[in-house]
Amino acid sequence: MADVKIGVYICHCGLNIAGVVNVEEVARYAGTLPNVVVSRDYRYMCSDPGQDLIKKDIKELGLNRVVVASCSPRMHEPTFRKACQDAGLNPYLYEHANIREHCSWPHATEKKRATEKAKDLVRAAVRRVYWHEALEVKEVPVNPNVLVVGGGIAGIQAALDIADGGKKVYMVERDPSIGGHMIQLDRTFPTLDCSECILTPKMTDVGHHPNIELMTSSEVEEVSGYIGNFKVKVRKKPRYVDLDKCNSCGDCAKACPVEVPDEFEMNLHMRKAAYLPLPQAVPAAFAIDKRGISSCRIACPAGVNAHGYVALISQGKFKEALELVRRTMPFAGVLGRVCTHPCELDCERGKLDESISIRALKRFVADYELRVGREKATPIERTKEDKVAVIGSGPAGLACAYDLIREGYAITVFEALPQAGGLLSYGIPDYRLPKEVVDNDISYIQELGVEIKTKTPVKNLTEIFNQGYKAIFLGTGAGVSQKMGIPGEETKGVIHSLDFLRMVNSGVEMKLGSRVAVIGGGNAAIDAARAALRLGAKEVAIVYRRSQVEMPAIRTEIEEAEREGIKFHSLAAPAKILSKDGQLSAVECIRMELGEPDASGRRRPVPIKGSEFTMNVDNCVIAIGQAVDKTMLPKELDYTGWGTLEVDPVTLQTNIDSVFAGGDLVSGPADVVAAVAAGKEAAISIDRYLRGISLTEERQITPKKVEKVSTEGVKPKARAAMPLLQISERKGSFAEVEQGFDEKTAIEEAKRCLNCGVCSECFECVKVCEQEAINHEMKEETVEIEVGSAILATGYDQFDPSVITHYGYKKYDNVLTGLEFERITCAGGPTQGQIQLKDGREPESVAIVHCVGSRDKNYHEYCSRVCCMYGLKYAELIKEFTKAEVYEFYIDMRCFGEAYEEFYQHVSEMGVNFIRGKVAKITDQAITEEEKGKLVAVAEDTLLGKIVRVPVDMVILCAALQARSDASEVASRFTIGQRGDKFFLETHPKLAPVNTATDGVFIAGCCEAPRDIPDTVAQASAAASKALSLISKGKVTTEAAVSHVDETICHGCGRCEEICTFHAPTIISKNGGVVSSINEALCKGCGACAVVCPTGAISIRHFNMQEIESLVDGLLEVYHG
Amino acid sequence: MEVLSPYKEATDVILEAGGEPLKLCYQCGLCTGICPWNLVRSFVVRRIMHEAQLGATDFGSEDVWTCVTCRACVQRCPRGVEIIDVMRAMRRAVASLGIGVVPDALRISAKNIAGVGNPLGEAPEKRDDWAKELKVKSFSSGTEILYFPCCIPSYDPDVKTVARSTATIFNKLGINYGLIGTEAKCCGEAIRKAGYEDTFQSLAQNNINLFTSNGVKTVVVSSPHCYHTFKNEYPELGGKFEVIHITQYLASLIEQGKLKLSKKINKKVIYSDPCYLGRHNEVYDEPRRVLQSIPGLELIEFPDAREDALCCGGGGGRIWMDTPKGERFSDIRVEQAVERGADIIALACPYCFLNYRDSVLSMGKAETMQVKDIAELVAEAM
């Protein structure tokens, strides 16, 4: 390259450089270097005459390389590149040496060395510029749409500026309304104008602006692309309210039974699950808050909406609650009494203190109907041709019939016995489940149109099909008692439990002896024992072979049995039944001990040799289990090894396609709710079978459980106790033992519900919405939008002062944060603007504590900038509206803005007490009479050098502003930087305050650092103007000094793809292999990929090996001498 | 106009000790507000820091000797000022440069420590006399654990029970431990805080050489003060050992199932966190776990516990200085314990032991309120 002609220019920078570096000497030296055809020095190279020197030389001397040695390239590299370009030289044929920051400034006292170093740097630059190549800058068009993330004042301002400028804005807001923190504020300092009054017009403008597409309840999920051409995925959470239809009448909220703390009111107030996010919400529409399905609902085998009916009961809506139960199954009265209530085991309230008494609440609404009477149910219209037969009228059969009749089928239930209900009627005694309760539930089913044919045993299935039934559900139960197989079991006086209970429940007169033994530990055993006692037996004992804690019976039943005087012989089993004159006389038992666990996981009882003992009894009830009576069932069905019916576990279909089965017949003896669940499941199958659609597809849906249950403000409260019949009144009477709740207890108990899922899906709102705006079926969706730039205005979180335990936040009622106080003074807030304590009194004195979490190494070292001023604002308002004394505890007052100092003076004039000192603690421990019943703020008044203890009624903590808890995720999504305090990092604090590391992504407001409203608005407008300027330009140039892949060497290993923060490289298939491909628009030329590239395929243009090596050689030459 | 400081050398010592954080102090007064002295008398910590910043320390003031080094202020200082280091440097300037007066009681203890290696002025050869009837071995090459009881339990007739209880527990459990012998000296933690840096250096060097030459790897201590200096200050001087406080050791033995407490102590026990175990070294849970393992014992808490615990008044060399009645923190604590209905105040520090013992006696509460080290309670419950 013999024709390389280099010009070198040494800048004096006034005396900045020339005062230390001998610039003439450097210029002279540069002239001696190879290929340098001209070298000059000049006072200010950046000035027009300075630049003209370069341009002139290029033209006249034919220079094709230029080196300027001056200040930092950050300042003037672009200036001189431009000068070269103006003179017709490619700007990449220019090289910059920094002899100010690197020479004259750091070596100000050693002029000679500074001069030598300047020569070195110039020499290196000359060596490097030799290898520079002309590079072409590319241009790409800019998409004129802008994304604004965050709907607080910053986002609103930026969006309006851009939209008013005629460009399209997508505003993405996480909450269901825009407004941000500013709309929570009462008044704004220092002018005290109402925050709502100045913000709501802007909010409405955003809502109605033709150029703004508002996406609320939405979050940015993914960002790809580059400046001018971003692709953004936005996840829109369902609102469950149609924005176009909702007229904000509020009927849904009135109907909604669920109350949860209102976040907008800083949890000082309650709101409904159907709610208007804030009074001036934009969009002006209600929203429904769903956080998942509550645990109780998930736990219920029959899928009853427990949360829903509990919520309705809490609002006194008993009729609606019962309707909701019946939406799923017909047995409110029955299961309200005998359910094993898995819902209560999973109830989240149980983790806090005690679970909600869910079962008793269900019973309450059923009893309420019995008490007030119910209108006959309207029969269901038959919409389907097909008839279905249900055999067996126990809970499984009736649940199945109930669901199918509501699908429009004609249903007939065949029952062999005179009463419908199966074990509900014949198994469970009246003291636990009164007949009229069973009858009420069953008659409801009949009123809907289900035909129940009692005393109609079914001999074979063909006979049923011949009558035109298209499908059959078998729910005939497990109706025979199991035998023990011990000698003497057939002795007179020995009764099996089902026979015994059937007689008891049928009202058959029975003569029992005075001593009765019951063998077994299940519900049937307890029922038999307690029934025996009621029939006049004097001594009743239960013999159970395992330990008492292992008894499968319901715990409360066992406890009541004990209280009624029933004796328990656990770890004992009968070995022989003894008789006298053909009549039972005694049971010989043997003691057991627990051995290794068996198949059920319980430890197997093993007899202890020689431990036999004898119990003298008159009767013995055997209740060790029940089995299926196969003799009653058709031969053609398949059975399991356990003697139960074989069915498909999901569809409950038997080996005959049109026959389904469920309940004890399939599961063996189980509880009522399991039978109901099976009946319901079979109903789904039968409906699908008859409609000819797949029995299995989309059958099992996993419900979305609530992830985080809010227990905000929940005070411990015990579960309501169930009133019981006096023990003395139980003998000889089958009157119901559990008495049920009264209305007041039921409502109180229901109010303990935590409303985990928030919306309970009771659908009361749907009933009342005249606009038909509510749609509970709305689904989450992800939309993709294309924008040219993005403005992040995601705001801040308030610091939680409860971590500073000495300030007693959340411990003392009247210690508040700033935002809480804002809501209290706001006319639309929870106290209608009355400044008052939790008990409603007006405070006599208030302490305002500055720097809570700010300017503190232990929390945030920065100053939150707004606290001094809002602290003064609170003092002003308290002084204006109450007679309270106000104490401002400050460290330094920072009142820097326009009219701020004047406001400070104004507040001082009002007689506010200023104490310079950081509060050490807030305590309720009084040491003087005056302090009693007060909160005491302890601090040193540092101006007096004395400790002060100020008794006050209310403490306001000026809590710091901190970065959003998810700021890091947002930053990484947009590939922008963060400071140590997690706020977003600007490119330059003074000269590029709204730019970020990613071109085309701007920041505004408190997401960058704490700031007040005026600064936020100014910054938002600045960000908007950046976006508009970009759009106005219409195109962006891409950096030419970017990475470049030599595809002949590249192996496509993908390390470049992994290391790149800007997502520039991608591995693509090419010519049968894989290689890295660089998106030059995304590449910043940082060189990370070139460093990790194992083959050396990647190089950075303008920074290739030759250029770097010659630069380094140039620098090292000095050491060679 | 008054000259700010005639003692440039002394103020330089203080500025150096305070380092960068002292320059950062923005005079908010949180230290004064949190300082326990202000419960009983005025002690403006903030002003002392400001004087130190300006080189205007009043070396003649009694404030130089007041700080109990409880660390309540340092723990919460918003600018991270190491206030204790500044206090120590002031004392050092007085003690070593002679520009003020060292309180008499402190001077005598300092002399004792420098002379015979313990503050009580007892003969070094009697250091292990407490263990005479207990068959405790001397530390030798196969010994796993060195038990270092601190000077107070070694010599003070009332506090010896702490060391004896510990040895009894170890003997019953068959723990492989020993005593280092009579060449051992005071750990030096408190005398260093009192300003006697040279004395500390020589004590530390003596102990480090003694431990190292005997091959000590693990030290179990009864005093949080020994714990603190062994763990945090000796390593810089070349003494690196695993240091375990007796409450930590007992808690781990309980956890491993090696120590089983079967005898009931049906008492209400209130635990006082020692500053040097709690705030200085953040050991809060182990002592409580040990107490909760004692059957029948009901553990209750002071109104200010754990990080907020009130000092007994004995740190920073104050244990050797006179505190007038009405200004004793341990008196406040005993009153609080009575109010909460405690039968026993449980301790884990020999200095606390001395102060609480004196408070209970001088307040006439000895009949109803017992003062016991956790090791004593454990020995009783075995």
Same domain, residue pair B235 and B273:
no
Same domain, residue pair B130 and B114:
yes
Q: Chain A to chain B, count of Cβ pairs less than 8 Å apart?
A: 67
- Considering chain A, what is the average pLDDT of its residues? 93
Mapped onto helix, strand or coil, the DSSP state of residue A1018 is helix
CB A718 within 8 A of CB A354: yes
Q: For residue B81, what is the nearest residue in chain A, using CA coordinates?
A: A857
Contact flag B26-A941 (C-beta cutoff 8 Å): no
Direct distance between the N- and C-terminal alpha carbons of chain B, in angstroms, rounded to an integer:
69
Asked if residue B86 belongs to a domain, the reply is yes
Given a cut of 90, whether residue A167 has pLDDT beyond it is: yes
Mapped onto helix, strand or coil, the DSSP state of residue B188 is coil
CATH tag, A797-962: 3.50.50.60
Same domain, residue pair B316 and B178:
no
Same domain, residue pair B146 and B193:
yes
Give the model's confidence band at A374: pLDDT under 50 very low, under 70 low, under 90 confident, else very high: confident
When CB atoms are compared, the residue of A806, A891, A945 closest to B28 is: A891
- Specify the range with the lowest mean pLDDT, choosing from A381-385, A637-641, A677-681: A637-641
Asked if residue B202 belongs to a domain, the reply is yes
When CB atoms are compared, the residue of B30, B38, B308 closest to A918 is: B30
Given a cut of 70, whether residue A158 has pLDDT beyond it is: yes
Domain boundary among B50, B66, B97: B97
Same domain, residue pair B64 and B163:
no
Contact status of B23 with chain A (Cβ, < 8 Å): no
Q: What is the pLDDT of residue A1121?
A: 38
Residues of chain B with pLDDT under 70: 1-7
Residues of chain A with CATH 3.50.50.60: 146-230+788-794+973-1034, 381-474+629-704, 480-627, 797-962
Q: What is the pLDDT of residue A1029?
A: 96
Residues of chain A with CATH 3.40.50: 6-135
Residues contacting residue A698 through CB under 8 Å, at least 6 positions apart: none
- The domain defined by A480-627 folds into FAD/NAD(P)-binding domain (3.50.50)
Class of A146-230+788-794+973-1034 in CATH: alpha beta
When CB atoms are compared, the residue of A857, A919, A942 closest to B27 is: A942
What's the CA gap between A258 and A293, in Å, rounded? 14
Helices of type H across A329-374: 332-338, 342-346, 349-352, 358-372
Nearest to A677 by CA among A666, A687, A688: A666
Instruction: Give me the interface pTM, i.e. the ipTM.
Output: 0.89
Q: What is the mean pLDDT of residues A407-415?
A: 96
Is residue A1037 within a helix (H) or strand (E), and if so which, with residue range? Answer: strand A1035-1038
Nearest to A820 by CA among A922, A921, A953, A958: A958
CB A361 within 8 A of CB A749: yes
Residues of A in Cβ contact (< 8 Å) with B32: 917, 920, 940, 942, 947
Please return the burial class of B268, using the count of CB atoms within 10 Å of its CB with bins 0-12, 13-18 and 19+. middle
Same domain, residue pair B218 and B306:
no
Q: For B80, left (φ over 0), alpha (ψ -120 to 50), or beta? A: left
More confident residue, A207 or A600: A207
Asked if residue B149 belongs to a domain, the reply is yes
Same domain, residue pair B137 and B197:
yes
Q: What is the pLDDT of residue A331?
A: 96
Asked if residue B3 belongs to a domain, the reply is no
Radius of gyration of chain B (CA): 21
Mutate to test the interface with A, among B32, B35, B47 (most CBs of A within 10 A): B32
Asked if residue B267 belongs to a domain, the reply is yes
When CB atoms are compared, the residue of B33, B79, B303 closest to A920 is: B33
Given a cut of 70, whether residue A1120 has pLDDT beyond it is: no
CATH code at position B270: 3.40.50
DSSP type of residue A376: P
When CB atoms are compared, the residue of B34, B46, B80 closest to A857 is: B80
Q: What is the mean pLDDT of residues A535-540?
A: 91
CATH code at position B110: 1.20.1050
Interface list for chain A against chain B, based on CB atoms closer than 8 Å: 805-806, 851, 855-858, 891-892, 916-921, 925, 938-942, 945-947
**A112-132 pLDDT, tens per residue?**
999 999 999 999 999 999 999
- The domain defined by A1039-1101 folds into Alpha-Beta Plaits (3.30.70)
Same domain, residue pair B124 and B238:
yes
Class of A6-135 in CATH: alpha beta
When CB atoms are compared, the residue of B29, B303, B307 closest to A918 is: B29
Q: What is the mean pLDDT of residues A498-525?
A: 89
Mutate to test the interface with A, among B23, B28, B284 (most CBs of A within 10 A): B28
Contact status of B301 with chain A (Cβ, < 8 Å): no
The amino acid that residue A415 corresponds to is E
Nearest to A1041 by CA among A96, A47, A118, A336: A96
**A649-702 pLDDT, tens per residue?**
999 999 999 999 999 999 988 889 999 999 999 999 999 999 999 999 888 778
Distance of residue B50 Cα from the nearest chain A Cα, in angstroms = 11
Nearest to B77 by CA among B25, B114, B2, B120: B25
Residues of A in Cβ contact (< 8 Å) with B27: 891, 942
CATH superfamily of A381-474+629-704: FAD/NAD(P)-binding domain (3.50.50.60)
CB B221 within 8 A of CB B237: no
Residues of A in Cβ contact (< 8 Å) with B33: 917-921, 938-940, 947
The count of structural domains within chain B is: 3
Same domain, residue pair B243 and B281:
no
Same domain, residue pair B88 and B215:
no
Query: Beta A494-496 vs A619-622: how paired, if at all?
Result: parallel
Which range marks the domain in which residue B363 is found?
A: 259-381
Q: What is the mean pLDDT of residues A926-937?
A: 95
Q: What is the pLDDT of residue A1?
A: 59
Q: In sequence order, what DSSP letters do the residues of B244-260 get, joined into one string?
A: EEHHHHHHHHHHTTS--
- Token pair for A774: 């509510």
Same domain, residue pair B147 and B246:
yes
Contact flag A942-B42 (C-beta cutoff 8 Å): no
Report the DSSP beta bridge partners of residue A961.
Answer: A798
Q: What is the pLDDT of residue B98?
A: 77
Contact status of B76 with chain A (Cβ, < 8 Å): yes
Contact status of B115 with chain A (Cβ, < 8 Å): no
CATH code at position B83: 1.10.1060.10
The amino acid that residue A317 corresponds to is K
Residues of B in Cβ contact (< 8 Å) with A857: 77-80
Asked if residue B318 belongs to a domain, the reply is yes
Residue corresponding to tokens 């007796």: B246
Same domain, residue pair B114 and B231:
yes
Residues of A in Cβ contact (< 8 Å) with B46: 940, 942, 945
CB A954 within 8 A of CB A841: no
Contact status of B78 with chain A (Cβ, < 8 Å): yes
CB A1039 within 8 A of CB A1083: yes
Give the model's confidence band at A247: pLDDT under 50 very low, under 70 low, under 90 confident, else very high: very high
**A781-814 pLDDT, tens per residue?**
999 999 999 999 999 999 999 999 999 999 999 9
Q: Provide the b/e sequence for B301-329 (b: ≥16 CB within 10 Å).
A: ebebbbbbbbbbbbbbbbbbbebeeeebb
Give the model's confidence band at A1011: pLDDT under 50 very low, under 70 low, under 90 confident, else very high: very high
DSSP type of residue A952: E
